């Protein structure tokens, strides 16, 4: 299965132009089975009042589940999971936040007759805030819930965390990071980290990550650096190819 995590920045690109079609093209080129999007506008005047989650999903012939981390009158801003596979919403909701509200989505997706639990989130900008958010996501209300515990699971999103950060280390102590596969001659199954994802034009930081449970393995993982991807948003999309062990 192909998993894509992408902070789309409200579909505003590096040229400050709002262009949802560019985002759709970047995603379609990657041919993902499951997509986790962050920073989507729904019904906001600044983006023409459209439902970006639904518009992108329709263009890709997928269904979407959207969670508004921020809800101001009729305007919403948040994250979504998209797929063309059978999908059931398990939970959407807030996570502890300081400043801008943050949230998460948990869906169960059926693949080859077996369930797969997929989580999407966008963590905050403060170190302590991110640690609290990670503890919540790994705890009994989310990944540690009895319905998910011991099941195949994927956690994706914009973590606002580099691999040397405490919040990254906390997630990595429970879940495996999706990495590009090592060469066949290597002793270990995983190779180097995928490339940086932010800022898109000249990426320096790896802020976006895909983590997986022990029942899954990563065949490949890469930040997509096509010319269009470097323009369409301020983040590059991160694509991981996963399989069951």
Q: Tell me the pLDDT of the chain (245 aa) as tens digits.
A: 999 999 999 999 999 999 999 999 999 999 999 999 999 999 999 999 999 999 999 999 999 999 999 988 889 999 999 999 999 999 999 999 998 999 999 999 999 999 999 999 999 999 999 999 999 999 999 999 999 999 999 999 999 999 999 999 999 999 999 997 654 433 334 457 889 999 999 999 999 999 999 999 999 999 999 999 999 999 999 999 999 98
- pLDDT tens-digit readout, 17-66: 999 999 999 999 999 999 999 999 999 999 999 999 999 999 999 999 99
Q: What is the pLDDT of residue 191?
A: 54
Rounded Cα gap, residues 40 and 51, in angstroms: 8
What CATH number corresponds to the domain at position 193? 3.60.10.10
Q: What is the pLDDT of residue 112?
A: 92
- 74 burial type by CB count under 10 A (0-12 exposed, 13-18 middle, 19+ buried): exposed
Rounded Cα gap, residues 121 and 39, in angstroms: 10
Q: What is the pLDDT of residue 189?
A: 41
Q: What is the pLDDT of residue 109?
A: 98
Q: What is the DSSP string of 12-32?
A: B-TTS-B-HHHHHHHHHHH--
Q: What is the pLDDT of residue 181?
A: 67
Tally of structural domains, the chain? 1
What is the SS3 assignment for 232?
helix
Q: What is the pLDDT of residue 165?
A: 97
Q: What is the pLDDT of residue 89?
A: 98
Segments forming the whole domain that contains residue 169: 2-244
**Residues 160, 125 contacting (CB under 8 angstroms):** yes
Query: Token digits for 62?
Result: 């997928």
Give this prediction's pTM: 0.95
Place of tokens 């990670």: 134
């Amino acid at each position: 299965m192909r998993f894509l995590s992408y902070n789309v920045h409200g579909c505003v690109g590096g040229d400050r132009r709002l262009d949802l079609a560019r985002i759709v093209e970047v995603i379609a080129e990657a041919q993902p089975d499951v997509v986790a999007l962050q920073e989507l506008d729904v019904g906001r005047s600044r983006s023409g009042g459209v439902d970006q989650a639904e518009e992108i999903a329709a263009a890709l012939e997928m269904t979407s589940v959207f969670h508004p981390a921020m809800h101001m009158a009729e305007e919403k801003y948040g994250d979504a999971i998209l797929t063309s596979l059978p999908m059931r919403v398990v939970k959407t909701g807030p996570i502890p936040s300081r400043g801008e509200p943050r949230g998460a989505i948990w869906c169960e997706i059926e693949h080859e007759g077996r369930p797969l639990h997929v989580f999407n989130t966008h963590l905050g900008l403060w170190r302590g805030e991110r640690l609290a958010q990670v503890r919540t996501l790994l705890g009994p209300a989310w990944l540690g819930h009895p319905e998910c515990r011991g099941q195949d699971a994927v956690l994706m999103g914009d973590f606002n965390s580099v691999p040397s950060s405490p919040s990254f280390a906390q997630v990595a102590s429970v879940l495996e990071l999706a990495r590009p596969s090592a060469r066949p001659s290597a002793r270990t199954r995983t190779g180097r980290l995928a490339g940086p994802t932010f800022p898109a034009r000249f990426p320096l930081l790896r802020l976006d990550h895909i983590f997986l449970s022990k029942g899954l393995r990563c065949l490949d993982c890469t930040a997509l650096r096509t010319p269009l991807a470097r323009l369409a948003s301020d983040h590059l999309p991160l694509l991981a190819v996963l399989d069951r062990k």
